[in-house]
Structure 1
Amino acid sequence: MAIIKPRSVAVLVVTAFFLLSFMWHRKRVQVSLLHIFCNCTGPLQENVTFPEVPSELQVKINDIFNRIQKLIPNVTLSNLNIATNGKNSKAFIVNSREKYCVGEDLVVQLDMYDALGNRKTYGGDFIWTRIFSPELNAAISGRVEDFYNGTYHVHFPLHWQGKIKFSAMLFHPSEGISALWRSRHASLGVIGFNGRFVHLKEQAITTCGFKLQTKEEVCEYLDPDDEEAFYCIKPKNLPCESLHDMMAIDLHSSYLSNEEKQLFQRSNIGVEIPANFEFVDVVDCNKVSSAKPNCQTGMNSPFPSGYFYNGVWNPVYCNMSNYNNAESLTKCLQGKKLFLIGDSTLRQFIMHFTEGIQIVKYFGYHGRQWQSWEETLLAINIEKDIYVSYKRHGFPLESFMFYYFKEDKYTSRQIDQQGGGKDTIFVITIGQHFRQFPLQLYIRRAINIRKAIERLFIRSPETKVIIKTENTREINAPVERIGDFHGYTQYLALREVFQGINVGFVDAWDMTVSSAIATVHPPGNTFQGIMSLTFTFACS
């Protein structure tokens, strides 16, 4: 028998302790990463003795998420008759008068009823409101105040004279909102992804996503600084680095009951609430309006943020220039680099520059309209020294065809790769492709973009950055997957994240609600308003 000396025993004990400690900490790190990326509503199925300490980023995400969640009704649909009914509800003017003056506020009260004519006793309905004058091509959104007892006040600032009409649409009842919120956070997304791996002459297609329920070996695509990750099942005999293309797949998942689904039939979406008045008569009254400063980055954007008059968007807090033709936009962009980072609502910008007013020409791209809309695009004007690029915001992207994935980068990384400067403009949007996933994922991405902008401003404070909110979209869009209520909660989160930073904030949500344009790629005056405010911030 060998004799073990005390010194050897000590060495073995220390070594064993070190190995056990390493294994325990390694396990803790793995669990921590799983917790960071899963955005789960339930507990992790791990035997961890001590609770995880959330990161600083996760604390911020939770704070914003919890504030928005407090606005969401927590009600159960026992039968359809108890749901808010738009046709049975009522709208009337508070302290009605014969005439109103420009500059005053109009307050309309909404009293909500169910299908049986019973007064609702709780709030949380999703209501779109606007006043408008068709002959003046004028409109403004209303600010809805919820008293959480079935009564709402809608506040409208009056900015023009004439006969003004009123509209309030019950987009979804509170029972539907509660169901949609629960559904959105019941999984890690109602769409999935396939990744195509290519290496030499071999290729394979496997399942990808933010979390995979599998015992197979997986590839982890991790950005540790931003605490972002997604995963793909590792194909046999191919390395993880060979992920080449990505495609979304419809999982045909639903977390709504059959009764809840009836709330989202087309006939139950956007139901007009009857009003007991036909119009409001507004006169000038010779009130002198206070002077507004020119629009500059860093300004706070209120709600409503502006109004249309004669088809032109007028911010209520600043004076906007009109960039509605080739001459004005060429002058704005001459000698500058413009980086458009986001989704197809920013691809619409580069299409306008190339196929519309033709101030730049595509480089290496010969398609038109929405053909291969996921592609990175570059357009230039050598004579005027204009450089315009469009890139998608990175995973996730709802494209049901394979698209080239090797150059995919999160928005924050795209910002980090640019030096910036006084002749550099970033226009950024995120939204439409995040509606299918839990809200925490969107908040994380928005916070990481803000952090990247803060880093950009440290090295190049003269860089212009514009944040565009998402647009509303078609009223017949699949409600559970990409409906506008999901967009609205993201809109609230985006406003929260980008407070107090020197960016231009383009409230495209407000513009599209105000103009009642139910399309994700708005045409005409609405698009011109978005463009004009964007480049007023960029070129002022």
Structure 2
Amino acid sequence: MSLRRRKRFGSLSGTAPTKRALRPPGEARQGLRKGRHGADCYQTALRRARARGEIVGCTPMHPKPAVVRAWKVTSGTVEDPAPRESQRAIRAVSLTALWALNGGIHIKKFQPPRPKPVPRNNSSSIISAFDMGISDEEWERLQKAIDWPFPDQEITYLNQSTSPVHSTFSIVGLKESYQVGEKISVIITARDHNKDLKRYGGDFFKAKLFNAELKASVYGEVVDHRNGTYSVELLLPWEGQAQVFVRLEHSSEVVQFLKKYMESSFPRTHFNGYFEGPGPNKTRIREVVECYLKWGADGNWRKGDCCCEHKDIKTGTVWQCERPKKLSCDKLVRHAGGRMESPLNLFEQQLFTKQLTNVAISGDKKIINVFPSTAPIGTMEKCRSGMSTPVPAGFYLKDVWNSFVCKTRQFSPAQKANCLKNKIVYLMGDSTTRQWFEYLERNVPGIKRMNLHTHPKGGPLMAVELKNNIVVHWSMHGVPLRLGVVMPIIDLHYISNDIDEIAGGAHAVVVFTYCAHLVFHSITFYIYEVAKIRQSVVALLSRAPETTVIIKSGNTAGLKNIYQSDWYMLRLNTVMQEMFRDIDGVILLDVWQMTSCHYLPENIHPGPVVIANEIDMLLSYICPA
């Protein structure tokens, strides 16, 4: 036990414990005296606790000594051996609350309670590169790609975290006018709730340039200098006026929690498995149990002989369900999302409040005047595979996305039908590719949905247009999958398995996304699944190199909490891009910037204007200009 940790647990109130402080309050002492072991019981317990290396301290911030707690640290996890009665007594103790008015935000200042124990099993730390199906060199490269700075200390007060009220941005060397194609530099300075400069990085800021009247905007990448300051370079791509907008989505302290719980096996979401089979006298037995992913050598989220295991033969992914009381394990027939469970303790919840999440910060609101330029802006290069995504990847003007990746165009309904003539389009993944299916269904003349007797939100779905011989499929990926509807589990296919069943060819367009539902699970499991998909894509392009393969990135989401955060999505996007970076014949369609800078409120299901621009990008790759 380090001195730092010993000191922190030994005296949570900030002062060294004294003999008096280590004594229980009057009622507790009286109870010990009346106990059959006598008054020496308490002091003997203290001596034995110290001899075992346990740490004895007091309940923090209470005017009188409270019930003594012995904390034992085993394998890095804090365990609380106190009986339930003692825990209730401690929870009943009123914490001293100091309220401070901070720029219109009331902040409750208190010492954090003991964190909820995070299960140690199924942790990323015990997963090797071999387990993920990649090389040690690739794992090292991926770790560098997703590296994110974190606080250099464990904060114990909310006011030590980054404040959106006191953090600011400024434009460096602002001029009276600019020309289209020039750039401006923006400096972001992070401060805590005491108005003190932050000494470390890790805050999750987002920045953009916009003009509301022109419906124009462009994304800016925030560079973390790891000392409390950040910089952004913003391109000036349109003629007219522009303003800078910066927001703090998560403080570095919150990002630290996001990473911790993403890499733990704590089940932030649960799933329901529906078992059904024959009963006596021609009846049907139905049972609903909880299910979850099994990942890692000790990946059971329930211990003992608790569960049925359903292993996909090709991918090796194991899905666990609690054992039904009456039915056998092979009677699992349907799947749905279940309850949510938060791992956050009271202190962490304070940091996740809406007043501190996804909040615009103050700064230079001056109007930037941009005049025409004789130098061309944009690109005339034909859309094809193997193209990198620059920052910015494009910009909106009058609600039309102008790509800097390749030459895109807007497709009329007739042009959409002509582009997809004699094509079979396979859309796979989640509800964001279903939005693409529904858009094509509405905007390609003559296309009709076939009645496959499936749920319209869960699929699989199919639409055809006979005149131009167009077929469009959509299907959900396999579990883990958080659905709001109950679906036959046989209709949920792993993307890699579906790709293995496609012959491919010049007529085939394979589009998949694999992001939104994976934010609940370890990054190592995500890498494992993406490695399987990559293997199938490489095999497809080997047997049919004329096949068009497009990966749609994840987009920004509306919720910014422990369950669904853009920081999770950004991390998964980075892994997907890195793992497919060197695969010839694959197109990476980055919609992250398209959803991050648009004026519509961020939503896991982007608005119609954004979807229309995404489809124009898609068709520009299928039918390049």
Give the TM-score normalised by the residue count of structure 2. Answer: 0.74
Tell me the matched-pair count.
490
Match of 1:139 in 2: 217
One of 251, 254, 259 as aligned partner of 2:347:
259
The amino acid that maps onto 2:396 is F
User: Are 2:191 and 1:113 equivalent residues in the alignment?
Assistant: yes
* Residue pair 1:420, 1:456 contacting (<8 A) in 2 also: yes
What is the CA–CA distance in structure 2 between the aligned matches of 1:193 and 1:149, rounded to whole Å?
Answer: 41
Counterpart for residue 300 of structure 1: 388
SS in 2 for 1:210: strand
**1:375 alignment partner, SS class:** coil
Asked if the contact 2:393–2:593 (Cα under 8 Å) also holds between the matched residues in 1, the reply is yes
CA deviations on 1:313-370 (whole Å, 9 max, x unpaired) are 11113111223x3212111111110111011111111212224555411111589xxx
* CA drift at 1:113: 0.9
| 2:566 counterpart residue number | 484
Partner of 1:28: none
Q: 1:291 to 1:398 in 2, by over 3 A?
A: closer
Structure 1 residues 480 and 146: alpha-carbon distance in aligned structure 2, compared to 1, 3 A threshold: same
- 3-state SS of paired residue (1:525): helix
Match of 1:80 in 2: 158
Question: What's the CA shift for 1:188?
Answer: 4.9
Query: Is this contact kept in 1: 2:414–2:445, CA < 8 A?
Result: no
1:193-208 aligned within 5 A: 193-200=271-278, 201-208=284-291
1:67-466 equivalence runs, <5 A: 67-68=144-145, 70-74=147-151, 75-200=153-278, 201-211=284-294, 212=300, 213-216=302-305, 218-223=307-312, 225-235=314-324, 238-252=327-341, 254-289=342-377, 291-323=379-411, 325-355=412-442, 357=444, 359-364=446-451, 372-466=456-550
| Kept after mapping to 2: 8 A contact 1:352/1:358 | no
Letter in 1 for 2:315: D
Q: Which residue of 2 aligns with 1:469?
A: 553
> How far apart are the structure 2 equivalents of 1:428 and 1:173?
32
Structure of greater Rg: 2
Pick from 579, 591, 605 the counterpart of residue 497 of structure 1. Answer: 579
Give the match for residue 84 of structure 2. none
Distance across 2 between alignment mates of 1:406 and 1:366 = 14
Q: CA RMSD in A?
A: 2.4
Give, in whole Å, the separation in 2 of the partners of 1:440 and 1:54: 9
Over 3 Å counting, the alpha-carbon distance change for 1:190 and 1:470 in structure 2 is same
Q: SS state of the match for residue 352, structure 1?
A: helix
Compute the displacement of 1:256 (Å).
2.1
Structure 2: runs of 5+ lacking an equivalent: 1-120, 279-283, 295-299
Deviation at 1:68, TM superposition (A): 4.8
Instruction: Report what 1:47 is aligned to.
Output: none
Q: Which has the higher contact order (CA 8 A, sep 6+)?
A: 1
Distance 1:408 1:76, change over 3 A: same
Closer, same or farther in 2 for the Cα pair 1:536/1:60, shift >3 Å? farther
CA contact (8 A) 2:160 2:193 kept: yes
Q: Does residue 616 of structure 2 align to residue 532 of structure 1? A: yes
- Deviations, residues 234-260 of structure 1 (Å, cap 9, x unaligned): 4366444332101221142x2222122
Give the conservation status (yes or no) of the 8 Å contact 1:39–1:440: no
Paired residues of 1:72 and 1:124 also in contact (CA < 8 A) = yes
Shift of 1:116: 1.0
Equivalent-residue separation in structure 2 for 1:492 and 1:114 (angstroms): 29
In 2: Cα distance, 1:515 partner to 1:529 partner = 11
Q: Which moved more, 1:297-306 or 1:420-429?
A: 297-306
CA distance in 1, matches of 2:480, 2:165: 39
Answer with 415-424 or 313-322: which moved more: 313-322
Query: What is the Cα deviation at residue 198 of structure 1?
Result: 2.7
Matched residues in 2 for 1:43 and 1:506: separation? 33
- Compared with structure 1, are the counterparts of its residues 64 and 409 closer, same or farther at alpha carbon in structure 2 (3 Å cutoff)? farther
Q: Deviations over 1:107-143 (max 9, x none)?
A: 1111111111101111111011100122222110001
Deviates more, 1:276-285 or 1:446-455: 276-285
Return 5+ residue gaps in structure 1 as ranges: 1-37, 45-50
1:58-86 Cα shifts (integer Å, max 9, x gaps): 74774355225531414533111111112
State the distance in 2 between where 1:251 and 1:535 align.
Answer: 38
* 8 Å Cα contact 1:105/1:156 also seen in 2: yes
Is the Cα contact below 8 Å between 2:249 and 2:357 reproduced in 1? yes
Where 1:388 maps in the other structure, the secondary structure is: strand
How far does residue 503 in structure 1 lie from its aligned partner after superposition?
1.9
Change (3 A) 1:530 1:102: same
Aligned counterpart, 2:590: 507
In 2, Cα distance between the equivalents of 1:163 and 1:385?
47
Stretch moving more, 51-60 or 73-82: 51-60
Q: Distance in 2 between matches of 1:79 and 1:303?
A: 37
2:417–2:444 contact (8 Å) kept in structure 1: no
Distance change in 2, residues 1:175/1:194 (3 Å): same
TM-superposition CA deviations, 1:372-397 (whole Å, max 9, x none): 41121111112221111110011111
Corresponding letter in the other structure for 2:534: R
Name the CA distance, whole Å, in 2 between partners of 1:365 and 1:53.
40
Contact 1:189 1:438 in 2 (8 A): no
Residues 381 and 164 (structure 1), Cα distance of their counterparts in 2 relative to 1, 3 Å cut = same
Tell me, yes or no, if the aligned pair for 2:333 and 2:490 is still in contact at 8 Å.
yes
